Each structure stands twice: as structure tokens, then as C-alpha cells.
Structure 1
């Protein structure tokens, strides 16, 4: 049964990744968010595999304010094996990660509870946990859907965020060592927990911050209840190592968060592709800013309950289990305190803070809350012996998974693709000597007019040229540059001036000053001046793409 559960769960998870990155008749297809997020990771993997510490979408700048652990891991494998970064990212890693998470969840829960049934229950929730969004979409006559109606992604989309998935592996390994350390007080278990908890922040900074918070609270609890300092010492060691190895933790990344309480609750109620109850959403905001505190409190409390239970789905069973822990809090155990601390941190941070550039990114803290609630709900489920209740549970769990796969990842056509002609052009560019590539700027107006499926250059601003050419691009993927807080707007203005200038000396100086070696244009993109005036020569052409080399 264990083998079957892990295989089926891994297969379902892998379906959200596996079809993307493969070559079809029309080119390479990308489903879900992979037309943007996948390009970013592929660009990083390609850059890191070249031994570069440069951000590949803003040539000449070092990579900062980002956790590179996942991308570095795949870059090393790419370098050692020669397996393409695309295959590693879309096909190989998802299978390995989903199998690993399933096995480690089972191992951790069995170590914690010494109960195979509870460990199996945790697997069910971890692989299939979903929201109640599908109920709302059914009532509205929209079929199965609504995975992220309450803002958070659900279990089926775990691999869509590969650093998050990989951080679950390091967190689970850290928890296994922590559990052993609490039980047996062995030095190498202490060391193992430290190593994997430190790795967590290198892979996913949100997960690392949650670990620090949980270690601190658990350490304090362990000292107060058991008079043992071991976990507080572990917290101190992890904190020091993170401080030494993760520059953003030393202050460079502190300005990425902004205090904006209850933004997720307000937008969840107001936005049409979320809950979409604008009258309620407007009322709660008006009460708040109008200082009508009682009504504001009640409105925000209702919105929070919608957010919490909407996202929880059947995971609300975890609350029954948690209640029993609190009734016997002195016997709760350090690991259970750690789990509860992770859950608390994962909900408090997004309720109070947003991230600059892309405000909704802090919802990723809540992903960890859902993950650990899944484990605890599974522990509770394992205490139910009647098989019919397991079957009933499955009826309520599976709709989110089926709806997401059917509507997003198993559709006939992807929302974005890289044409065969562009793929061939980028493969040619990849064979050329190192050099910075200048591309045309993303055109939002043309993108809005284009019909799906859209070619990547008209889909969203993305890192696709860097991803498939293996070259650093002068400016690309404005979205991720904004998230990582680079000053890219001045460079965008310079590029606009270059393309519109009629000054031959200026454009040549621009190319020379910025060390640009190649220009990549999708037809009919052009500058106002011609090739001779720009000082470039065509080195590749097909029906869709022109590639030029700057003449030295």
C-alpha cells in the first residue's frame, strides 16, 4: 500500500511538469506558469553551470537577493552529466522530488508516531490536499476548479515551485534528524539537523525563515518544560551559519518585505478570480479606514475564516489532532512544538507582510502551513480505522487535483510555446562564443493582442533567451528583476534610445560600452538604423529570427 500511494501521488504531481519543455509539432510547449517561472530557473541553471555568479537577465550584475540552492544543484548535475537543464527541470527532478517527499513524509511520521496507518494518512493529505475552491466553482456552474481561489496553491502544484519542493526535502530530513536527536540526544543527529536546516534557506528563503522561528520557539519551550538547552544551541548554530553563508540575511534582503496587514484577505474578497465578493471586500476596507472598529473586526474575522478554511479543505481535521496536543501540552514533545511553530509562522507573515515587486509572493510562507497541516491531518486520519471514512475523504480531496490537471496541465494546447524556428535559432546562438545578447524589449500591447497559444516573446516578460541560448542577456524578464530589486528601468530607457536613435556614433558607442556581442531579433523587430550603420553583421537567419554579431 505504501509503494502504491507514493507511486500514484508522484505520478499526479509530476503531471504538472512533465509535458512542458518537450518538443511538439508547433515547438516546445509550456503549461501553467512554466512559460515564465520555468524560463527563470533554466536561465539560472545555464548561467551557474558556466560557473558564473552573474544574473543572466541583467548582464554585468551579480546575482543577489535570491536563494540559488535549487538552481545550483541542477547546474552541478548538468555540468557533471551533460543532461540538458530543460530535461532536468521538467522531467527528471519532478519525479525524484515527488518520490523523495513521499518517502520522507512516511519515514518522518512513522518515526514521530510509530504508527504505519498514521504515516500513510499523512501521505494521502500531502499528495492530495486541496481547497474548497472546487465547491464554489461547481455552485457557480464553472465545473471543477478554484485551486487558488483563496490565494494559496494546493498540493497538486507543489512541483510548480521547484525550490519549494526541494526545501520540503531538506526540511523533512532536518525533522528526521531533529526527532532522533530529541529521542536519543546523539551528536550526529544534532549535526544532521543543523546541516539540513541551514540548507533550507539556501534553497527557499521562506522555508529557512520558518525554520529559524520554529527552532527558537521550540528551543525556548524545551528549556522551560524539560530544562534542556540542546535545541536553543541548535538554533544558535543554525543562525550563525545562515548569517555567514546567506548574504541576504545580513541585511541586503531586509528591504524586500513591506508591512501591509491583511492585503491577502482584502484582495481575496475583492478580485474576481479569487472569491470575488466585491461588496464585502469594499465594506471591510471602508470599515477599517473609517475607524468603525467593531464592524471591521467582524468583517476581517469572517474574511480570515474564509481564507483559512477555504484553503484547508479537509485538512481541518488537523485541528482536532492539535487540540489533543494542547490538552496534554507538557507531553506534547519538541517536534510537535516545532510543527505548530512552522504553521503559526506560515500564516502570520503573509497576513502582515508583502514582498516588494510582486506582493503576492509572501503567500509562499503559507505553503508550509498547508504542508504541515497536511501531515497532522494525516496523523488524525490514521486514527480512524473504518475504511469507508477514508473513501469518503478521498471524494472530497481529489476534486482539486482533478480540476487543476484538467483545466491547466492536461489541456490540448499550452498557453505558451517556443516555436521550432526560435528554438533552432537559440540553439545556434548557444554554440557561439561567450558574449552578451541584446534582445527587443517585451511589448505588452502586442502581447495583449496576441491569441493563445502565444510565442514566448509575446507571452509575458521572461528569461527565455537566456534560458535557451545559454548566454547573458542585456535586459530580460523585468518581472524577476523587480522581485529581486535591481535597478533595471534605466537600462530599459537606454535600450529604447538605442533602437530609436538615428545617431550612428551613439548606437555604436552603446554596443561597445555595454560589451554587447550579439543581437537577437524576432522578425520583424528592427532598430531604426540599418546593419551597416549599427556596425553589426548577420550570422544566422531563418523564417522567424535574425541573429547579428557586433563587428569589433
Structure 2
């Protein structure tokens, strides 16, 4: 850390750099670090880590065995998926032999947060020519949050403040590991592009291109950076007669598309649904829960009152926009000075991309899980967090006395972190309800010892999620999770109906198992015990309510 500080920051600001990057990294990592640890009840997981985290672990296990099969939808290739974060974990495991769970839940988050802080500082310092502004940018990127703590004063809101305005805040970044990893990748790419524009050196441009090319394979939503990149490339050709950025753009886009091809499925990924997030933010019980305005909306709509409908959506958008930004609205304090800053191309790239990222979710939903498009807003908050650092720097510089400056800085910090504090309290004020029990671990261990990596497992009850089985055994679950099946473009309902039909036929059930190469049946209910009474389906393991059967081929 000392060597890092000496290289990029002056001695007078070094302590603030250390404090900000350590505090910010700690605040993010502490939200994922306890997941995967042992407790009295079993292996504990917090928040989304039991489902989403173990989904990534299951994919990592497949990659380790050089398989691209969907771990919870046997026989189908993994599609519609940004795979690079899982591939990275698999590569680190293959090289180091460190446990996959340790890499995913401990090492990778620490590296991501530290590198995010590092590149936020470097990029902000380059753009704003101020170490103080860069440190404030780090603060907002790490700890900036929304204004949801104000809602209870108006009798509104959901007890969990973080997503009252829909958008998840930076402290919970590791509930979405692909997004988390994409942040330092995107920031470092833009930083090296900025370095190249400062004094053309091809190695910076090549490094930037390679990083940006892998960004969409890490998180597909980063494709939204390319339109702004295309515009500044054309402008550079027009103004300076230089084609370097246009070549950079073309090569980067081509490589990005090629890297996405292995998992790309050409389908309708987005649904045109303008204002959906605004309307649901107002009326949903787990968002603002503003029932008075929800009833007004219904009245305006039933009476075709266009004027008041427009007024409703404008009001909702202002609340959504300002509410999600929180103290990051300070980004607009310094907007009028951006023209005087160096690297206008990069400022245009960041602000134009921010505009696209903010507008797109206002009109489109995802065809899989409708609200997935809200993740575009994560990048908007990231970029505005960087500019909020500059806005805060301008605001403090215009404060007359040192005492007022310190007081204002404290107020900004205090108004920024209430939601972070509440999020932390919500996570750790009560035990998690998500565990992999020790009985399950014993059953999984049995499958690991007696099965092959290519084995397929049918699970009971049909329709329940068994991602944790795939994560701990590396086996492929025949029908393991509806959400991930839908997201990756598979027909979950069709396979579910096929299994139920085979069960009802009884005589055809064994034939169905053999046809689909299902070697194991993992049952935690015993509700299908009659159908499993077959000389070719043998009980192999039983512990508590868990039974494992082996299908004899």
C-alpha cells in the first residue's frame, strides 16, 4: 500500500487515499465475505449469494472440467450469459488449486474492490487534475447511496431502504459478480485510453482495447459504451484527420462480439415497456408504496387524462432520478466547468454513455426477468459517482473558511451513508435463513466420491431450485432452477411437463431416465417414493430426509 501511495498521490493526501480505499473496500467486501463460512446449522450464505453466488460456482465447476453445459439444465449449452467472471475464477483455481469458494467469496471481491478504488482514483485524477477530487470520486463510487432514508418522514417506503427507488447501491455490488468485475475492467480501459490521448503510445491503446473487448463477456450491458466510443472516433477523424480511434473502436467491437459468440443466443432480449420502473416504484409495496399516487394514476388512466398522466410520469422520473443519485447529485455542480477540463473526448464518452444508460431502462424491460434492465443504471451511478467527486471538490473550494469546508464535507458524508449503514444492519442484525446443511454436504460428498463429473441428476421435488447441488458436486442437474433456465434462454416449462408426464406413465419413467442419461435421483421429499420402487433404481444413500438413488443402465 505504501508503494502504491508513493506512486500516485502526494504525501499530504496519502492518508485520505488509504482511508477511503480501505473503508470503501471493506464496506463492499464485508457484504459477501461471511458467505461460504461454517456455522452451527451448516454453510451459511447471505442475501443473493445462496442463489446467484452458487449459480456462478456451479458454472465455475463446469469450466474447470472444460464443459460449457448449463449446470442446472442438462444437455443444453450455456447461453445468453456473460461468462468471463466465472471463467476467471476457474482459471485461478486451475493454476493455484485454491478452493473455488475461497476464490469467489474471499479473494476475488477483495481484488475487485481494491482495483476499482485504484482505477477510480487514477482516472479521476487524470480527468479533473486534482487528487482531492479523485479521492471524493472514490468515496462516492464506494459509499454513495440513495435518499430512501427520507421516505419514512413522509410515511412512504419499504423498511429495506436500498432498493426503494429500484436501483441497488454500490455497497451490495457483490450480489452481481459479473457487474462487480466489469467495473475495474471498464475503468482501467478508459484510463488507458485517456493515457493514450495524453501522448500517443500504442501500448496504452492496445491494453485499453483488450480490456474493453472482454468487458461485454464479463457483463453484456457494457456494450452501451460503444456508441459513445464510435461518436468520439468519428469526431477525431473529422477534426484531426486521425483514424486511430476508429480502428481501435472497430477492432475492439469485433473482438468483443467474437468473445460473446460462444454464449450468444439471437432472440428478443428486450421488451418495449415505457415507464414500467417509474410506475412500479411508486406503487409496489416493496418500493415507495405510495398508494395515494398509485390510485391517482389509475384514475388518470381510466379517464384518459393525458395531461395528468404526463405529470405523474415526470414527477415519478424526478423522484427516481434524484432519489437514486442521493448526494451524487453533486455531479451537476461541476458540469459547467467540464469544458475547461482536459480530455474532452473522455468526458463526452462518460457523459454520453451515462445518458444512454439512464434512459434505456425507462423504455425497455428484459424478456427474461423483467427488471434486469435496471442494471444499466448501475453504470450510470458509477459514472455519476466519479463526477460527484469533482462537483464536491468545486463546492468545497468555493467555501470561504476552512471550518465551513470541514463542516460541509462532514454533512456530505453523513447524508451519503445512512442507507449503507441500514443495509449493513439489515444483513447482520439477524441470522441468515440460507444454509447448505451438513446432511446435504454429506450427500453431496457421496455423489462426489461415487459419481463422475459428467453425471446427470434428477431432483425431487420437481420444480424446486437445486443450484447448491450443482455447485457442490459439479454434477449437472437435469432441471435445477427456473430463474436461470429462463435467463439463459431454455424452455423450462416444456421440460417440467415432460418429467411430470414420464412420472405419471410409471412404466415409461425408467425409459425416460435412460434416454436422458440420468444416473442419479436426489430426493428430499419422498413424495415420489412409489415411482422409485424399481429394480433398476437402487437406493444408494439415505440420511435424514435426503435419499439418493442410482439408475442402473
Question: How does the TM-score come out when normalised to structure 1?
Answer: 0.91
What SS is found at the alignment partner of 1:499? helix
Any gaps of 5 or more consecutive residues in structure 1? 444-456
1:25 match: 40
Shift of 1:232: 2.9
- Shift in alpha-carbon separation, 1:65–1:510, aligned structure 2, 3 A: same
2:521 match: 519
Alignment of 1:358-437 (within 5 A): 358-383=369-394, 384-385=396-397, 386-407=405-426, 409-431=427-449, 432-434=451-453, 435-437=455-457
- Shift in alpha-carbon separation, 1:289–1:221, aligned structure 2, 3 A: farther
Q: Tell whether 2:542 aligns with 1:550.
A: no
- Shift in alpha-carbon separation, 1:23–1:499, aligned structure 2, 3 A: farther
Shift of 1:289: 7.5
* Residues 73-94 of structure 1: per-residue CA shift (max 9 Å, x gap): 1111122222222222212211
What SS is found at the alignment partner of 2:526? coil
Q: Tell whether 2:236 aligns with 1:234.
A: no
- The one of 331, 335, 357 aligned to 1:322: 335
2: CA distance, partners of 1:128 / 1:362: 23
1: CA distance, partners of 2:159 / 2:334: 29
1: CA distance, partners of 2:157 / 2:526: 40
- The one of 84, 87, 91 aligned to 2:106: 91
2: CA distance, partners of 1:138 / 1:278: 16
2: CA distance, partners of 1:508 / 1:484: 28
On the 8 A contact 1:43/1:56 being kept in 2, the answer is yes
2: CA distance, partners of 1:105 / 1:244: 28
* Residues 148-175 of structure 1: per-residue CA shift (max 9 Å, x gap): 1000001111122111010001101101
Alignment of 1:39-438 (within 5 A): 39-137=54-152, 140=155, 145-207=160-222, 209-224=223-238, 226-247=240-261, 252-284=265-297, 287=300, 291-325=304-338, 333-383=344-394, 384-385=396-397, 386-407=405-426, 409-431=427-449, 432-434=451-453, 435-438=455-458
Shift of 1:519: 0.8
- Shift in alpha-carbon separation, 1:281–1:484, aligned structure 2, 3 A: farther
Any gaps of 5 or more consecutive residues in structure 2? 1-14, 398-404
2: CA distance, partners of 1:99 / 1:248: 30
2: CA distance, partners of 1:319 / 1:254: 38
* Residues 85-121 of structure 1: per-residue CA shift (max 9 Å, x gap): 2222212211111111111111111122231111101
What SS is found at the alignment partner of 1:118? helix
1:463 match: 467
On the 8 A contact 1:65/1:248 being kept in 2, the answer is no
- The one of 464, 480, 484 aligned to 1:480: 484
2: CA distance, partners of 1:157 / 1:110: 26
On the 8 A contact 1:502/1:528 being kept in 2, the answer is no
On the 8 A contact 1:134/1:144 being kept in 2, the answer is no
1: CA distance, partners of 2:415 / 2:252: 40
1: CA distance, partners of 2:154 / 2:301: 31
* Residues 351-387 of structure 1: per-residue CA shift (max 9 Å, x gap): 1111112100000001000000001001222332422
2: CA distance, partners of 1:531 / 1:523: 15
- Shift in alpha-carbon separation, 1:10–1:29, aligned structure 2, 3 A: same
What SS is found at the alignment partner of 2:365? strand
Q: CA RMSD in A?
A: 2.2
What SS is found at the alignment partner of 1:23? coil
What SS is found at the alignment partner of 2:232? helix
- Shift in alpha-carbon separation, 1:441–1:215, aligned structure 2, 3 A: farther
On the 8 A contact 2:78/2:263 being kept in 1, the answer is no
- Shift in alpha-carbon separation, 1:142–1:245, aligned structure 2, 3 A: closer
On the 8 A contact 1:343/1:373 being kept in 2, the answer is yes
1:452 match: none
- The one of 456, 459, 467 aligned to 1:439: 459
2: CA distance, partners of 1:396 / 1:512: 61
On the 8 A contact 1:40/1:462 being kept in 2, the answer is no
**What is the total number of aligned residue pairs between the two structures?**
528
- Shift in alpha-carbon separation, 1:26–1:139, aligned structure 2, 3 A: farther
